[in-house]
Amino acid sequence: MNKVVINIRNDISELHEIIEVLKELSEKWDLSKKSAMHINLALEEIITNIIFYGFNDKEEHRISIEFIKEKNGVEIIITDDGNPFDLPAAEDFMDKDKTSEIREIGGLGVHFVKTLMDRMSYKRKDEKNILTLYKETV
């Protein structure tokens, strides 16, 4: 089993699903506690951002998260039908000025994802955001 996909609703309580699947993958794919925590942190930032800012309506939406085991790491593909958001292109304010108080107004999430993940790419296809992350785990 080298691929696991979960589909969550645009509701913060669904973050628990991510915790559960990462627990499962930690065992099956032998992820270190630290790698699992870094993936969890990146996903919490990304999913929270999609849920809070991605949708202009109050309808239920689905967010798909695909975990793929690679030789030396894990690839994670997040797909949602929310507003376009190119995370890799978003400015990392913390990098620019680490002492700035900007960290309290949302810059922290982007900084976390960029720092904790090893690679990241984004495309918009068929009205959907497709964000691919890669985390080295060895």
Partner 1 sequence: MNITKEKKDDINVLQVEGRLDTTNYSELEDLLVRLTENNEINILLDLSALEYISSSGLRILLKYLKVIKAANGRFMLCAMTKDIREIFEISGFINIFEIFEDQAAALKS
For the CB of residue 96, give the shortest distance to partner 1 in the complex, in Å.
12
Shortest reach from residue 44's CB to partner 1, in Å: 5
Task: Between 9 and 124, name the residue whose CB sits nearer to partner 1.
Answer: 9
Q: 2 or 20, CB closer to partner 1?
A: 20
Residue nearer to partner 1 on the CB measure, 5 or 19: 19
Give phi and psi for 3, each to the nearest 5.
Answer: -145, 135
- Structure tokens belonging to residue 6: 């979960």
Shortest Å distance, C-beta 12 to partner 1: 6
Helix extents (H) in the chain: 15-28, 33-53, 93-96, 107-116
CB nearer to partner 1: give 56 or 99: 99
Reported as type and span, the H/E element at residue 5 is: strand 3-9
- Give the interface with partner 1 as residue ranges (CB under 8 A): 12-13, 15-16, 19, 33-34, 37, 40-41, 44-45, 48, 94, 98-99, 103-104, 108-109, 111-112, 115-116
Task: Give the separation between CA 30 and CA 80, rounded to whole angstroms.
Answer: 28
Task: Using alpha carbons, select from 81, 89, 80 the residue that is nearest to residue 120.
Answer: 89
